[in-house]
């Protein structure tokens, strides 16, 4: 493909989860014959099995497409995919920064959702041209006119310009492509300027090292060039350049406006930060591209092998995952209860889930995860500051001056009738009311500041159940605020189980303690002996329950065919036991460690 900057169009697709982004991408690839139908797996951009299963995109990806427009010109389209979850807002913003335009997909049956809006604002922040598309018009419940109105009212774009399409049947897909040609501007910049290449994604390849996905914002880059990553200052020699169609096609150079990949024998993915700028040593850009942000894990938890002999395997698995996931952090930690394991940091809960599933599925590990925790700032009486990511490590109360916890600004979009319950929920979760706006005639956006800790403790599930699934949530970290917090310990058989410690809001401690011990009683199976479960704050017991001893556990009838069936039943039980962790003399199931997350459910 020859290079003509004015014939390049770089764009993303923005959509709420399930609104059909991946299907639309598939249709575009088909229509442009980028991929032949028969070699096409459904939703080609979501390459991880896990993504395909969950219908979400976790890793970003980009594909270069040739499009022969009805105007007679042959264009180069770079479609840059974006992950569709609040955990990855920053990555989305960097992907969008690599584009000039965005196709905004709205589900004709659902209308605009909070998350779509959040991503749309990111696109507008990046000065992107927006092409609104109303998808799923093949469904009988499609409300095209309603969506048009919403687009005019909420986004401020002429709703009549929205293209009604069906990604499922392929209807009107070409019109989107033509609109990209006519409306999305060609890239700016100049090949003669010093190189500025935006990193919007990276992954690890065991042969080539880190493969960096870049958008050339200014200048150009050749194989053999000595490049420099402007944030870290480290330099590398470019060994390979190319584009993905989606098959990799290597090239001698990448020019201004192009999107492609770069390899430079980079060993450590941590050197390659999304949002960083690549330039050329000896002809350096004066300043890096704007918008870079160091991303830090927001949620931490302990990960332990159920079988302590699997520690090394877990370590290797985490190391491998880290090669391709620059936002995953881990360091060894020891728990008295769980033995040797790792404290891991994640961007959010979904990220945590995904890592857990990959460890279990791809590496065949049985794991115990402790309840997730945010990072608390502990201000000590001696003036020092501790950043605490593990509740069990909380220092002695007498040494603490005060504690701060992170808050988020949460925007909840909801049909009017659920406002009452949602406000109640936010109050229960220690939310601070900020604002309320009309979104349209029937929906409102409620804005609260809520401790992140409360968000990760089943806030989203509750929101969904309070609103029959109609409300949607978007949040971003706001700031640290002082809170009245204390560490709550759990004792089994009189011993503190460090892995079950949590940090709670003091005024709720009694209620929470009581609920937690009864929840533990519910999830921990009867043991050989009676086991007292206690919750304590500062060494003072505030709640207690007893797990009963096993009294009877024998199948009454066992003859003939029952014997095979019986053996299978026992085998199943044994499999279940494998997922339990012996802590002292007590067998704890994985749910026990997560109980703190669901103690509020008893309210329902």
Partner 1 sequence: MKRKKKINSLYIHIPFCSNICPYCDFVKLIKNDLFIDQYLKELKKDLHNIKNGYKKFKSIYIGGGTPSILNCKDLEIILRILFKLKKINCEFTIECNPEDINIEKLKLLKKYGINRISIGIQSFNEKILREIKRDYQIDYFKLIKLVKKYIKNINVDLIYGFNGQTLNDLENDLKKFTKLNINHLSIYSLIVDKNSIFFNQGYKEQNEDDSRIFYDYIVDFLRKNGFKRYEVSNFAKKKKYSRHNLNYWKNGQYLAIGIGASGYVDNFRYRIAPSFNEYIKGKRIIEKEILTKDLMKEYFFITNLRLEDGFKIKEFNKIFKTNFLIDYKDIVSELLKEDLVMIKSGYFSCTDKGIAVLDRILLKFM
577 binds partner 1 (CB under 8 A): yes
Other CB atoms within a 10 A radius of the CB of residue 369 amount to 20
- Range 67-88 burial, b when 16+ CB lie within 10 A, else e: bebeeeeebbbbbbbbbbbbbb
Q: How many residues bind partner 1 (CB under 8 A)?
A: 25
- Of 55-63, 164-172, 324-332, 567-575, the window that binds partner 1 (rule: CB under 8 A) is 567-575
Residues 481-540 that bind partner 1 (CB under 8 A): 526, 528
582 binds partner 1 (CB under 8 A): no
236 pairs with which residues across the strands? 227
- Of 104-112, 430-438, 476-484, 563-571, the window that binds partner 1 (rule: CB under 8 A) is 563-571
Among 71, 552, 603, 604, which residue sits at the site for partner 1 (rule: CB under 8 A)?
A: 552
Among 558, 582, 601, 602, which residue sits at the site for partner 1 (rule: CB under 8 A)?
A: 558
Q: What DSSP designation does 43 have?
A: S
206 binds partner 1 (CB under 8 A): no
Q: How far is the CB of 581 from partner 1 (least distance, A)?
A: 16
550 binds partner 1 (CB under 8 A): yes
574 binds partner 1 (CB under 8 A): yes
CB proximity list for 159: less than 8 A, separation 6 or greater: 132, 147, 148, 149, 150, 151, 152, 153
Q: How far is the CB of 528 from partner 1 (least distance, A)?
A: 7
Query: In terms of C-beta density within 10 A (0-12 exposed, 13-18 middle, 19 or more buried), how is residue 357 classed?
Result: middle
- Of 3-11, 359-367, 481-489, 571-579, the window that binds partner 1 (rule: CB under 8 A) is 571-579
Q: How far is the CB of 526 from partner 1 (least distance, A)?
A: 7
How does DSSP assign 467-504, residue by residue? TTT--EEEEEEEEEEEE-EEEEEEEETTEE-GGG-EEE
Q: How far is the CB of 585 from partner 1 (least distance, A)?
A: 11
CB proximity list for 299: less than 8 A, separation 6 or greater: 345, 346, 347, 348, 349, 351, 352, 372, 373, 374, 452, 456
Cis peptide before 216 (omega within 30 of 0): no
265 or 573: whose CB is closer to partner 1? Answer: 573
- In angstroms, the Cα distances linking 189 to 199, 321, 512 are 17, 36, 58
579 binds partner 1 (CB under 8 A): no
Among 442, 484, 573, 585, which residue sits at the site for partner 1 (rule: CB under 8 A)?
A: 573
Among 309, 554, 603, 604, which residue sits at the site for partner 1 (rule: CB under 8 A)?
A: 554
249 or 558: whose CB is closer to partner 1? Answer: 558
Q: What DSSP designation does 560 have?
A: T
578 binds partner 1 (CB under 8 A): no
Query: Is the distance from CB of 136 to CB of 142 less than 8 angstroms?
Result: yes
DSSP-derived 3-state class of residue 418: helix
Query: Is the distance from CB of 437 to CB of 445 less than 8 angstroms?
Result: yes
Strands (E), 416-484: 432-438, 443-451, 472-483
Query: Is the distance from CB of 471 to CB of 463 less than 8 angstroms?
Result: yes
Among 36, 42, 382, 553, which residue sits at the site for partner 1 (rule: CB under 8 A)?
A: 553
**Phi, psi dihedral angles at 36 (to 5 degrees):** -70, 145
309 binds partner 1 (CB under 8 A): no
540 or 552: whose CB is closer to partner 1? Answer: 552
- Of 272-280, 286-294, 408-416, 552-560, the window that binds partner 1 (rule: CB under 8 A) is 552-560
- Of 196-204, 344-352, 505-513, 565-573, the window that binds partner 1 (rule: CB under 8 A) is 565-573
- Of 53-61, 317-325, 537-545, 566-574, the window that binds partner 1 (rule: CB under 8 A) is 566-574
Which two three-digit tokens encode residue 328? 């995953």
341 or 525: whose CB is closer to partner 1? Answer: 525
433 or 529: whose CB is closer to partner 1? Answer: 529
Q: How far is the CB of 401 from partner 1 (least distance, A)?
A: 50
249 or 555: whose CB is closer to partner 1? Answer: 555
Among 2, 309, 494, 556, which residue sits at the site for partner 1 (rule: CB under 8 A)?
A: 556
66 binds partner 1 (CB under 8 A): no
- Of 42-50, 421-429, 441-449, 549-557, the window that binds partner 1 (rule: CB under 8 A) is 549-557
Among 36, 557, 603, 604, which residue sits at the site for partner 1 (rule: CB under 8 A)?
A: 557
209-218 and 259-263 beta bridge pairing: antiparallel
How does DSSP assign 184-227, residue by residue? SPPP---TTSPPEEEEEEEEEETTTEEEEEEEEEES-EETT-EE
- Of 358-366, 480-488, 570-578, 595-603, the window that binds partner 1 (rule: CB under 8 A) is 570-578
DSSP-derived 3-state class of residue 109: coil
Residues 585-604 that bind partner 1 (CB under 8 A): none
402 or 567: whose CB is closer to partner 1? Answer: 567
Q: How far is the CB of 341 from partner 1 (least distance, A)?
A: 26
CB proximity list for 33: less than 8 A, separation 6 or greater: none
Residues 604 and 598: their CA atoms lie apart, in Å, by 11
Which two three-digit tokens encode residue 492? 């089994």
Residues 319 and 339: their CA atoms lie apart, in Å, by 19
8-15 and 101-107 beta bridge pairing: parallel
Q: How far is the CB of 602 from partner 1 (least distance, A)?
A: 21
- Of 139-147, 446-454, 512-520, 559-567, the window that binds partner 1 (rule: CB under 8 A) is 559-567
548 binds partner 1 (CB under 8 A): yes
570 binds partner 1 (CB under 8 A): yes
Instruction: Say which residue the tokens 């945010």 belong to.
Output: 374
- Of 108-116, 288-296, 386-394, 557-565, the window that binds partner 1 (rule: CB under 8 A) is 557-565
How does DSSP assign 244-275, residue by residue? ESSSEEEESEE-TT-EEEEE-----GGG--TT
Q: How far is the CB of 544 from partner 1 (least distance, A)?
A: 19
Among 144, 447, 566, 598, which residue sits at the site for partner 1 (rule: CB under 8 A)?
A: 566
- Of 12-20, 71-79, 250-258, 560-568, the window that binds partner 1 (rule: CB under 8 A) is 560-568
Query: In terms of C-beta density within 10 A (0-12 exposed, 13-18 middle, 19 or more buried), how is residue 18 classed?
Result: middle
Name the site residues for partner 1 (rule: CB under 8 A). Answer: 526, 528, 548, 550-564, 566-567, 570-571, 573-574, 577
């Amino acid at each position: 493909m020859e290079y003509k900057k004015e014939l390049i169009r770089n764009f993303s697709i923005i959509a709420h989860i399930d609104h059909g982004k991946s299907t639309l991408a598939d249709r575009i690839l088909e229509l442009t014959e980028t991929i032949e139908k028969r070699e096409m797996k459904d939703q080609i951009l979501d390459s991880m099995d896990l993504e395909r299963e969950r219908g979400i995109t976790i890793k970003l990806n980009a594909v270069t497409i040739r499009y022969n427009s009805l105007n007679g010109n042959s264009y180069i389209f770079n479609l840059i995919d974006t992950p569709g979850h609040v955990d990855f807002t920053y990555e989305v913003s960097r992907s969008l920064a690599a584009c000039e335009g965005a196709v905004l997909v709205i589900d004709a049956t659902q209308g605009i959702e909070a998350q779509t809006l959040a991503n749309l604002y990111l696109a507008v922040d990046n000065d992107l041209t927006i092409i609104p598309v109303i998808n799923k018009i093949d469904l009988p419940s499609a409300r095209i006119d309603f969506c048009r109105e919403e687009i005019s009212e909420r986004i401020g774009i002429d709703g009549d310009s929205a293209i009604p399409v069906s990604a499922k049947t392929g209807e009107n897909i070409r019109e989107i492509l033509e609109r990209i040609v006519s409306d999305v501007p060609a890239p700016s910049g100049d090949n003669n300027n010093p190189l500025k290449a935006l990193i919007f994604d990276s992954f690890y390849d065991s042969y080539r090292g880190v493969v960096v996905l870049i958008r050339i914002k200014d200048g150009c880059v050749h194989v053999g060039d000595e490049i420099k990553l402007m944030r870290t200052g480290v330099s590398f020699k470019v060994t390979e350049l190319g584009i993905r169609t989606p098959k990799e096609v290597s090239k001698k150079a990448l020019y201004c406006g192009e999107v492609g990949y770069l390899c430079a024998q980079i060993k450590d993915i941590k050197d390659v930060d999304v949002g960083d700028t690549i330039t050329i040593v000896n002809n350096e850009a004066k300043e890096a591209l704007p918008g870079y942000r160091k991303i830090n894990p927001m949620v931490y938890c302990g990960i332990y092998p159920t079988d302590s002999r699997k520690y090394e395997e877990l370590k290797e698995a985490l190391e491998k995952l880290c090669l391709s996931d620059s936002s995953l952090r881990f360091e060894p930690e020891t728990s008295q209860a769980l033995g040797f394991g790792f404290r891991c940091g994640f961007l959010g809960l979904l990220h945590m889930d995904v890592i857990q599933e990959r460890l279990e599925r791809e590496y065949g590990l049985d794991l115990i995860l402790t309840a997730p925790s945010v990072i608390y700032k502990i201000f000590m009486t001696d003036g020092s500051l501790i950043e605490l990511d593990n509740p069990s490590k909380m220092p002695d109360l007498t040494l603490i001056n005060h504690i701060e916890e992170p808050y988020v600004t949460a925007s909840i979009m909801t049909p009017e009738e659920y406002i009452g319950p949602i406000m109640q929920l936010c109050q229960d979760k220690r939310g601070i009311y900020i604002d309320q706006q009309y979104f349209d005639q029937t929906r409102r956006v409620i804005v609260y500041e809520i401790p992140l800790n409360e968000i990760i403790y089943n806030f989203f599930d509750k929101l969904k159940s309070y609103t029959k699934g109609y409300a949607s949530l978007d949040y971003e970290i706001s700031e640290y605020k002082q809170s009245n917090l204390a560490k709550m310990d759990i004792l089994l058989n009189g011993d503190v189980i460090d892995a079950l410690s949590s940090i709670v809001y003091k005024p709720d401690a009694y209620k929470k303690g009581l609920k937690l011990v009864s929840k533990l009683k519910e999830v921990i199976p009867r043991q050989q002996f009676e086991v007292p479960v206690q919750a304590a704050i500062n060494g003072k017991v505030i709640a207690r329950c007893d797990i009963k001893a096993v009294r009877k556990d024998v199948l009454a009838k066992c003859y003939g065919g029952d014997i095979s069936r019986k053996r299978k039943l026992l085998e199943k039980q044994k499999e279940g036991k494998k997922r339990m962790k012996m802590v002292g003399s007590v067998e704890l199931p994985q749910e026990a460690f997560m109980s703190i997350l669901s103690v509020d459910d008893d309210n329902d």
